Amino acid sequence: MTKTLHHRACHLCEAICGLTIETTASEDADLQITSIKGDTQDTFSRGHICPKAVALQDIQNDPDRLRQPMRRVGSQWQPIAWDDAFALVADRLSAIQERHGQNAVAIYQGNPSVHNYGLMTHSNYFLSLLKTRNRFSATSVDQLPHHLSSYLMYGHGFLLPIPDIDHTDFMLILGGNPLASNGSIMTVPDVEKRLKAIQARGGKVVVVDPRRSETAAMADQHVFVRPGGDAALLFGLLNTLFAEGLTRDSHLPVDGLEDVRQAVSGFSAEAMSPLCSVPAAQIRQLARDFSSAKTAVCYGRMGVSTQAFGTLCHWLVQLINLVTGNLDRVGGALCTEPAVDLVASTSGGHFNLWQSRVSGRPEYGGEFPVSALAEEILTEGEGQVRALVTVAGNPVLSTPNGRQLEHALDGLEFMLSIDLYINETTRYADLILPSTSALENDHYDTTFNMFAVRNVSRFNRAILPKPEGALHDWEIFVGLAQAFAARTGKTLKPTMPPAQMIDFGLRAGPYGDASTHKLSVASLFDHPHGVDLGALKANLAPRLKTANQRVQAAPPAILADLARFAALQAPPADELLMIGRRHVRSNNSWMHNYHRLVKGKPRHQLLMHPDDLASRGLCDGQRVRVSSRIGEIEVEVMGSADMMKGVVSLPHGWGHARPGVRMTIAMAQPGSSANDLTDERQLDELSGNAVLNGVPVTVAAA
Ligand SMILES: Nc1nc2c(c(=O)[nH]1)N[C@H]1C(S)=C(S)[C@@H](COP(=O)(O)OP(=O)(O)OC[C@H]3O[C@@H](n4cnc5c(=O)[nH]c(N)nc54)[C@H](O)[C@@H]3O)O[C@H]1N2
Ligand SMILES: Nc1nc2c(c(=O)[nH]1)N[C@H]1C(S)=C(S)[C@@H](COP(=O)(O)OP(=O)(O)OC[C@H]3O[C@@H](n4cnc5c(=O)[nH]c(N)nc54)[C@H](O)[C@@H]3O)O[C@H]1N2
Ligand code: SF4
Ligand SMILES: [Mo]
């Protein structure tokens, strides 16, 4: 028996923790993973991991995980050879496009598309050949408002200032629960340690959340906010900063600040308080505390992007950092300078250059909001979607009105899924193409190094051999592109493996050959624990991509959205709003099939304040029916004094009891899908991002 230790990162979530993985080889068995631990020598994560990393071995060994292409014949799945599968896709998609036009094929790209470098580097090699405008992704159920506000203010959707968590004296968190999520658009392994360090150096952490989340519980102050009320709270803060003279000049070149001051002049803390259910005095004090801290940073995440004023929220977050002098400042919010720099190598983006066929929703970066996907399939007429390609996504469980989407998928002429499982979405596919598993694949994180709280770099080598007959995601896209090009007579540009692309990116980047660090893929091989490229620094001014290289504080598209906000009414007294929740042992919809993560008591109950239970005559542990405009589900309710009154919390990604799913462990403890309640018509109208938090519901005994 030979034991070997490997060092590479986990890339299941954004924290990219370093792992030490032991494999054991013996003569009579395949190479086995015998232990997964945090890598204490990792320059960035310093030994931190969460329970999901240990489950990497369960993904590897899961008998339900697909290991060869599968074709659906009636209700049966049959293996099919790769070349036959590629030819089938080329035939079906090209025939549909010949008959109905290019837009008749739609694309949905899910979350792992940014967690797996082969999907990052090569999906467009195939997908761009389809030349369809019907592109969708998980971005519009997530961080679209971050990109849009950055694009409009700084000229590039990836110029996302990150909290300088290691140097700040005051961290104001709205709608993020990094203790469960491990941080998002803030790549920060061991976030708990770093938050405690703020407190240890005499600083403060304040959390704004309708639930006393795990992060709120460790914070110095927790502010309950009505779901969807954050724009009002943030307006109240900004107004107070101006009105009480609490602003500080910025070193950045800025246009439009006077327009902002005027635009928010009516939004006093007193006027905003009824809309967010935060007392005016508390809003004013928060503004004073924030501005008087030596350094401070305001950070908003999922809870504030997936709500009706998501883009206004993220614009306001930027402005609060800007007018207090904390934007582009150590201890405030800083842009990264990653070794492979997507800001330098990609165009800034575009917005609303064209609109979706049925509801006229705006494109951002060439994608429509995914809330419009089902209607594009279901609405007859010229340009109707007849075929769908899903890549690493499960929109039935992750996008609003999942039941309507299921109905739409059922009527497609052809569906291709590139995925590891037969799940709630892929069970509708005609063909599923599975890639190698994470540990059989190399990886370089082009996405999350963009958001990291330090500039770091690491190349992760595959630690298990590629099984015979298996293909990496990138090779699947190359196979599809070649077959489609051959079938349609298109010429295909040559491509190269992802590692080679990364090597070019590293050499062209700020730490590349020309500078002293001399980063390249080969040089990173010598640093299995990662390379630390230093703390974040002020760099925004020279990186601005706006036409005049100045920060645009008052983009016209955003100012135009203020009228929608101004029409907002105070909520009715009997309002009940649903929000989401994440748990550290779960990961969106697809990691419920591993016993070690789901064992113990269920974690997918509806949380409700005890007073709200009592007023409905309900008791803890009872089965309840939750209804919204679009549907109803049954779940177990759990009383929780951590909930704000008038708010219930249900995690998404559950609801595995659907016919045809092949995920044995997940199906044994299925839960119900929050997105059978979320409403595809409830949007941040400006960006088209879905409202997943603040969904009106009623709850009654089942
Ligand atoms: N109500 C509500 N809904 C939400 C959210 C919420 O908070 N509340 N959160 C939203 C957010 S932030 C997101 S990001 C979305 C996620 O939504 P999706 O991206 O649609 O869903 P996931 O559950 O991440 O599904 C990932 C899929 O990728 C497959 N997969 C995993 N690894 C690989 C790989 O390496 N290659 C390939 N080809 N496939 C792979 C898995 O089998 C799974 O089918 O959900 C959103 N939906
Ligand atoms: N364990 C685990 N980790 C994950 C994931 C996972 O599914 N599980 N998913 C990954 C993905 S795809 C993402 S995008 C990130 C998300 O990372 P986070 O944004 O940190 O994720 P959440 O835990 O959903 O935190 C959202 C918080 O917003 C609160 N909230 C809800 N509505 C409102 C509101 O109206 N206003 C305010 N102020 N707060 C509100 C919720 O109560 C919750 O505490 O997590 C990533 N990490
Ligand atoms: S926090 Fe957990 S899932 Fe995320 S990268 Fe680290 S070990 Fe992996
Ligand atoms: Mo996400």
User: How confident is the model over 265-280, as pLDDT tens digits?
Assistant: 999 999 999 999 999 9
pLDDT at 516: 60
Phi, psi of 349 (to 5 degrees): 130, 180
Kindly report the backbone phi and psi dihedral angles of residue 221, in degrees, each rounded to the nearest multiple of 5, phi listed first. Answer: -145, 135
Do 677 and 633 contact (CB within 8 A), yes or no?
Answer: yes
Please identify every stretch of the chain with a pLDDT value under 70, giving residue numbers as ranges. Answer: 513-517
Q: Which protein residues have a CB closer than 5 Å to ligand 4 (ion)?
A: 142
Q: Are the beta carbons of 13 and 447 closer than 8 angstroms?
A: no
**pLDDT value at position 512?**
74
Q: Which of 418, 424, 420, 434 is nearest to 470 (CA)?
A: 434
Whole-angstrom distance, CA of residue 507 vs CA of residue 332: 30
Q: Any bridge partners for residue 222, and if so which?
A: 207
Distance of CA 256 from the midpoint of ligand 2 (Å): 32
Pocket test for ligand 1, best of 11, 109, 122, 398 (most atoms within 8 A of CB): 398
pLDDT of residue 345: 85
Rounded distance, CA 675 to CA 672, Å? 9
From the CB of 16, is ligand 3 less than 6 Å away?
Answer: yes
pLDDT value at residue 515:
58
Provide the token pair at 471. Answer: 């293909």
Closest listed ligand to the CA of 191: 3
**Contact 609 CB / ligand 2 (< 6 Å):** no
Q: Could you tell me the domains of the chain?
A: 2-54 (no CATH), 70-141+351-445+468-498 (3.40.50.740), 144-339+539-564 (3.40.228.10), 572-701 (2.40.40.20)
- Cβ–ligand 3 contact at 618 (below 6 Å): no
Q: Which of 120, 213, 589 to mutate to test the pocket of ligand 1 (most atoms within 8 A of CB)?
A: 589
Q: Which ligand is nearest to the CA of 278?
A: 2
DSSP state of 452: B
Q: What is the pLDDT of residue 181?
A: 98
Cα(356)–Cα(390) distance, integer angstroms: 19
pLDDT in tens, 293-352: 999 999 999 999 999 999 999 999 999 999 999 999 999 999 999 999 999 888 888 999
Instruction: Report the nearest atom of ligand 1 relative to the CA of 425.
Output: 44
The residue contributing the CA closest to ligand 1 atom 46 is 398
Check the CA dihedral 507-510-513-517 and report its sign: negative
List C-alpha distances in Å: 436 to 86, 428, 460. Answer: 17, 22, 15
The sign of the CA dihedral 373, 379, 383, 388 is positive
Q: pLDDT tens digits, residue range 400-426?
A: 999 999 999 999 999 999 999 999 999
Q: Which helix (H) or strand (E) holds 116?
A: none
Q: For ligand 1, which residues put their CB under 6 angstroms from it?
A: 110-112, 116, 138, 141-142, 302, 392-395, 398, 418-421, 423, 435, 473, 580, 588-590, 652-653, 674-675, 678, 692
Amino acid letter, 527: H
Q: Are 126 and 433 in contact (CB under 8 A)?
A: no
The rounded Å distance from CA 12 to ligand 3 centre is 6
606 within 8 A of 632, measured Cβ to Cβ: no
**Which atom in ligand 1 lies closest to the alpha carbon of residue 423?**
44
Q: Which two tokens stand for residue 570?
A: 């105070």
Sequence-distant (6+) residues with CB within 8 A of 83 are 479, 483
